[in-house]
């Protein structure tokens, strides 16, 4: 996401900027920015996960959601909201948003009670 924003907002390349950011953040905070990469974490998730993304998201481009979804081996679902920007899926989709989320939770809880 940071790399994408460097290009979109500032027109700057990933290298050497992200390498420098990683080094400085590691020194200053003890944690590298690259350690927070969801694409590295998603393959290790074991619980059901729902990916919700708007097609008009300018902060996190839509193809990034597809990459995360494809990298996930846990039980998963995705809800794509046409025309929704970043964090706007609930507002744009309205009732359909809540129906989708609650159906996902019902499915998860049903699977949980079966596996006990």
Q: For residue 50, what are the β-bridge partners?
A: 77
Distances, alpha carbon 115 to alpha carbons 22, 105, 110, 112, in Å: 42, 15, 9, 5
Predicted structure pTM score: 0.77
What's the distance, CA 71 to chain centroid? Answer: 11
pLDDT in tens, 59-107: 888 999 999 999 999 999 999 999 999 999 999 999 999 999 999 999 9
pLDDT in tens, 2-17: 787 788 888 888 899 9
Q: Where are the domains of the chain?
A: 1-36, 45-116
């Amino acid at each position: 996401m940071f790399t994408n924003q460097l290009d979109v907002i500032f027109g700057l390349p990933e290298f050497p900027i992200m390498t420098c950011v990683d080094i400085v953040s590691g020194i200053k905070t003890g944690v590298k920015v690259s350690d927070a990469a969801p694409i590295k974490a998603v393959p290790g998730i074991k619980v059901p996960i729902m990916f919700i993304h708007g097609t008009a998201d300018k902060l996190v481009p839509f193809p990034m959601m597809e990459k995360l979804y494809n990298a996930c081996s846990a039980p998963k679902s995705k809800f794509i909201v046409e025309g929704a920007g970043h964090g706007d899926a609930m507002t744009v989709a309205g009732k359909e948003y809540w129906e989708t989320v609650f159906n996902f939770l019902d499915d998860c809880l049903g699977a949980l009670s079966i596996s006990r």
